[in-house]
Chains A and B, each alone.
Chain A
Amino acid sequence: MTDARHSRSLTAALLAPAGVFLFFLLVLPLAVMVIYSFGLRAPEGGYQAAFTFDNYLNLPARSKAFTNTLLLAPLATLLTVLLAYPMAYFLAVRTSSRWRNTLLVMVMAPFWTSQLLRYYAWMMILGSKGIPGWLAWIGIGDVQLLNTPYAILIGGVYGYLPLMVPPIFVSLEKLDKRLLEASADLGARPLATFMQVTLPLSLPGVATGSMLVFILLMGDYILPQFLGGGKVYFIGNALVDLFLQSRNWPFGAAVSVALVFIMFITMYLYMRFVLGRGDQRRAVMV
């Protein structure tokens, strides 16, 4: 009895720092955001207490930002998976352990420079003297990449690939190689083994990586700011403008609440339908 109480208070003590952290930095700000979202813009900008649903009724004014984000964030995530999976497979299965760590470090290497610098570099690569210039040189003229959705996709895949490779790599590396032998013994060809054994068992890694990348892309504003140039506009950009330029905090709060809500629904549907129940648990474990 005393032992149980003792261990319970120990658990409480261990959880307290995280609990306090979450309360002050997550629950409280979330509550403030919800309260603000029913308020009015003060005459000079900012927040003025009120109770109105106008901010929510005004949400369709930002529908383009929502559709841009909801279209490009999943698409960029998908492209990142398609590119990251073969890389992770190569690293986990085909690379000798001597080279593996070096190559993994090289995958992460772009993170060592500032994100802003990397996007500035992409502005040059995608600008008219970069790739479109080379294309014009071989006769494919008049291509614009910078400030188009394609630039966002390229930048998204580039920027988030290093986050996608490691989780997939881990799930492939843990894979019991005897299962592959068993599959071959039972007469499955390599492709069938991959589709029926390797792929399903590595899905938790894919799930973890995609969630990580998807969540970050949904809230991103630097990527569309730099490579979209005000033409391809995300919810993140709408929020920056509402809080900093228009200083319409209540409407900004309503857009934030809508974003949190959409993320919640999307993640729920993803867990529920894309992944089986077992995979869900493993996705969390990875």
Chain B
Amino acid sequence: MSTNRPDEHVLPFVDLSTIAKNMKRAGQPTVNREPDKLSSYSNTQLIFIFDSIHYVLKAEKALKKEDIPCELIPVPREISSDCGMALAIDESAGGVARERLAEHHLEFSIFRKAGKGYFKAPV
């Protein structure tokens, strides 16, 4: 399954909290169904991108079952122009999240927010 995503490029930096603010301004509530474990965005974020909302929700279910904190977010515009969703996972949980998702035969690509943009990270 190819991901068709921009690769290894340094993309313009946009802070996730800015996205959230802009969405609120546009009258669109940010996703906040579960207690917001990642809302501070204090640590480095990994953004897990999937083909379809089905896999995003499947991944979220698999991670939540094991108490691995994750949050549903809109796919940042810098990663893709898709209208879909992604999972934001704290980098400290990245390793275990990768393992769990692989166990569920889920395919994904990972972007790492660092400095001024998103970098494609190894899966």
- B is a partner of A: no
Binding site for B on A (CB under 8 A): none
